[in-house]
């Protein structure tokens, strides 16, 4: 029985010691509560500035930021390009109408009976051209200018005494440019030196 009595105080002391240890650990944990700034400072102190992993991660971060910026710029360029040329197909489809108005004026009779009709067609053509100009469509190709494969499509050659070789003799169909980009080349015949 004496042994039991001796064990009980030891158990009581062990329980008290454990309780005291738990209380001390809780108190220490409460003392270790850090603010976010203190935590960041400790992290910076713990990570070596010369650490290769840190340099590698920083390089990767910078590459990702650069990729993100390049992607943003590319998307902006694509969006601007799309905005500038969104009407390209519609305007290209309208060009035959303009060609037909030009043909109607070229082949219109010159008598008094059709004079008002010709004036009406000409006014319609001018309004149509003004509307297309608002969308940055401009005509290219005129008689007498030097032939340029960037804006002209040669459909033939003609001997011409009054014009230097490689110049536009006849403009068969006007070409058009939209925002600086060729929409349709001008169909022309080109002068050549007379054969002797």
pLDDT for 99 equals: 92
In a domain, 45, yes or no: no
Contact call for residues 169 and 191 (beta carbons, < 8 A): yes
> Tens of pLDDT along the chain (196 residues)?
445 444 555 555 566 677 666 666 665 555 567 677 876 676 666 666 667 777 888 889 999 999 999 999 999 999 988 887 788 888 889 999 999 999 999 888 888 888 898 999 999 999 999 998 998 899 999 999 999 999 999 999 988 888 888 999 999 999 999 888 899 999 999 998 877 6
pLDDT for 179 equals: 87
In a domain, 170, yes or no: yes
In a domain, 192, yes or no: yes
pLDDT for 110 equals: 84
- d(Cα 196, Cα 192) in Å, to the nearest integer? 12
- d(Cα 7, Cα 14) in Å, to the nearest integer? 10
CB atoms within 10 A of CB 111: 8
Same domain, 145 and 131: no
- d(Cα 150, Cα 2) in Å, to the nearest integer? 116
- For 156, phi then psi, to 5°, come to 175, 175
Region for 157 from its dihedrals, namely left if φ exceeds 0, alpha if ψ lies in -120 to 50, beta otherwise? beta
In a domain, 147, yes or no: yes
Same domain, 104 and 143: no
pLDDT for 47 equals: 63
pLDDT for 135 equals: 87
Tokens for 172, please give them.
Answer: 């068969």
Same domain, 91 and 129: yes
Domain that holds residue 95: 87-135
In a domain, 82, yes or no: yes
In a domain, 119, yes or no: yes
Same domain, 126 and 148: no
Q: Give me the CATH number covering residue 142.
A: 2.30.22.10
- d(Cα 140, Cα 152) in Å, to the nearest integer? 8
In a domain, 123, yes or no: yes
Same domain, 194 and 162: yes
Same domain, 113 and 165: no
pLDDT for 98 equals: 92
Q: Which of 125, 145, 134, 124 is nearest to 178 (CA)?
A: 134
């Amino acid at each position: 029985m004496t042994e039991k009595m001796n064990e009980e105080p030891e158990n009581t002391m062990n329980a008290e010691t454990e309780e005291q240890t738990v209380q001390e650990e809780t108190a220490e944990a409460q003392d270790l509560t850090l603010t976010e700034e203190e935590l960041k400072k400790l992290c910076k102190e713990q990570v070596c500035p010369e650490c290769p992993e840190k340099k590698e991660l920083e390089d990767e971060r910078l590459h990702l930021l650069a990729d993100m910026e390049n992607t943003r710029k590319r998307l902006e360029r694509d969006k601007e390009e799309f905005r500038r040329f969104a009407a390209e197909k519609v305007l290209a489809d309208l060009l035959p109408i303009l060609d037909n108005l030009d043909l109607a004026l070229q082949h219109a009779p010159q008598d008094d009976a059709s004079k008002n009709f010709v004036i009406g067609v000409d006014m319609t053509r001018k309004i149509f051209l003004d509307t297309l100009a608002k969308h940055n469509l401009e005509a290219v190709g005129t008689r007498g200018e030097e032939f340029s494969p960037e804006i002209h499509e040669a459909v033939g050659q003609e001997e011409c005494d009054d014009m230097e070789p490689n110049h536009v003799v006849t403009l068969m169909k006007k070409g058009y440019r939209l925002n600086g980009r060729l929409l349709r080349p001008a169909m022309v015949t080109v002068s050549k030196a007379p054969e002797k």
